[in-house]
């Protein structure tokens, strides 16, 4: 009971703060769903990298009753939230959650019809590791399958990034966060390359191309974050 309450409280905080940081978070998932639905049809297997929290499941599983989901995430705590959501939504039979990284995916005969990697890439500090992850995602996809990447992006030394950072800060200040708390977040994590690895958008697009993705299209941008749709070759 106590554990459930703690999990509920953690989930509520995650849900709330993510939507402050990304006010169009729910629209983002709706946009991705539209693209997948047009590309995939009724039956599809989706690979969700960074499935912790379970928001990909709650956004896409109920309206697509034949889609199956394989979620990968190293965080036990975040996966607990995803599992909780899967149970609440009654979709456990279509969801497989793996605690680990993409290399921990069980060997299987068929590749996935689509993949997503939402708000994960900036937590991987080494550029070669980012490339390795994107390459492994591509290798796990059927030819031509859609892939959606959403990540913080930019060059911290660039005025354009600082302007976007000010926009992002305004979301928290307007949600009545204390400015000292917002500054702490900016200085402690956003501006700290040891905490968050933010790379420019042209580098993200190069990594996607180097990993073998084609038709790389930036479809989304808000505050600090951008989204790209592309396809396995
Ligand atoms: C901000 S959360 C985003 C979760 C979810 N995609 C969403 O949009 O709500 C980032 C997640 O990425 C996970 N993560 C970090 N490194 C990862 C990796 N190498 N592979 C898969 N997931 C990873 C974290 O554990 C965390 O659950």
Pair 151, 121: CB distance under 8 Å: yes
Indicate the length of the chain as a whole number: 233
Of 52, 80, 222, the residue with max ligand 1 atoms within 8 A of its CB, to mutate for a pocket test, comes to: 52
- The pTM (predicted TM-score) of the whole model is 0.96
Compute the C-alpha angle 96/7/187, nearest 5°.
Answer: 100
Q: Is 90 exceeded by the pLDDT of residue 24?
A: yes
Which runs of E-coded beta strand occur in 22-156?
44-49, 67-73, 95-99, 114-118, 146-152
Q: How much distance in Å is there from the Cα of 228 to the middle of ligand 1?
A: 17
Q: Is the CB of 49 under 6 A from ligand 1?
A: yes
7-11, 25-29, 88-92: lowest mean pLDDT where?
7-11
Q: 176: exposed, middle or buried (C-beta count within 10 Å: 0-12, 13-18, 19+)?
A: exposed
Q: How much distance in Å is there from the Cα of 38 to the middle of ligand 1?
A: 26
pLDDT of residue 7: 87
Q: Is the CB of 177 under 6 A from ligand 1?
A: no
Average pLDDT over residues 191-200: 96
Residue range 136-179, pLDDT digits in tens: 999 999 999 999 999 999 999 999 999 999 999 999 999 999 99
pLDDT of residue 17: 97
Other Cβ atoms less than 10 A from the Cβ of 170: the count is: 12
- Domains annotated on the chain, with CATH: 2-149+202-232 (3.40.50.150)
pLDDT of residue 189: 95
Q: Is 60 exceeded by the pLDDT of residue 1?
A: no
Residue 198 CB contacts under 8 Å (≥ 6 apart), including other chains: 122, 152, 153, 154, 156, 161, 190, 224
pLDDT of residue 2: 55
Pair 60, 46: CB distance under 8 Å: yes
Question: Closest residue (by CA) to atom 22 of ligand 1?
Answer: 50
For the chain, what is the total number of helices (H) and then of strands (E)? 8, 7
Residue range 219-230, pLDDT digits in tens: 999 999 999 999
Q: Is the CB of 148 under 6 A from ligand 1?
A: no
Residue range 114-143, pLDDT digits in tens: 999 999 999 999 999 999 999 999 999 999
Q: Is 80 exceeded by the pLDDT of residue 4?
A: no
State percent of the chain over pLDDT 90.
93
Q: Is the CB of 120 under 6 A from ligand 1?
A: yes
Average per-residue pLDDT in the chain?
96
| Structure tokens that stand for 128 in this block | 């070669």
State percent of the chain over pLDDT 70.
98
Residue 15 pLDDT class (50, 70, 90 cuts): very high
Of 33, 117, 123, the residue with max ligand 1 atoms within 8 A of its CB, to mutate for a pocket test, comes to: 123
Nearest atom in ligand 1 to 75's CA: 25
33/12 Cα distance (integer angstroms): 23
């Amino acid at each position: 009971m106590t554990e459930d309450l703690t999990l509920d409280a953690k989930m509520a905080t995650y849900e709330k703060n993510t939507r402050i940081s990304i006010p169009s978070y729910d629209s983002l998932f709706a946009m991705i769903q539209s693209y997948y639905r047009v590309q995939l049809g009724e039956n599809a297997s989706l690979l969700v990298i960074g499935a912790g929290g379970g928001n990909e499941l709650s956004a896409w599983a109920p309206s697509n009753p034949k889609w199956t989901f394989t979620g990968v995430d190293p965080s036990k705590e975040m996966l607990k939230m995803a599992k909780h959501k899967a149970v609440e939504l009654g979709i456990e039979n279509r969801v497989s959650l793996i605690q680990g990284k993409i290399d921990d995916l069980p060997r299987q005969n068929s590749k996935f019809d689509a993949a997503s990697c939402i708000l994960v890439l900036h937590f991987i500090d080494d550029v070669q590791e980012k490339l390795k992850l994107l390459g492994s995602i591509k290798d796990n996809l059927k030819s031509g399958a859609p892939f959606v990447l959403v990540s913080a992006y930019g060059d911290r030394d660039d005025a354009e990034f600082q302007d976007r950072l000010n926009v992002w800060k305004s979301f928290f200040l307007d949600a009545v966060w204390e400015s000292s708390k917002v500054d702490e977040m900016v200085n402690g994590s956003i501006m700290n390359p040891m905490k968050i690895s933010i790379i420019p958008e042209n580098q993200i697009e190069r990594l996607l191309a180097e990993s073998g993705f084609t038709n790389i299209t930036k479809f989304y941008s808000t505050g600090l974050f951008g989204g790209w749709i592309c396809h396995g070759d």
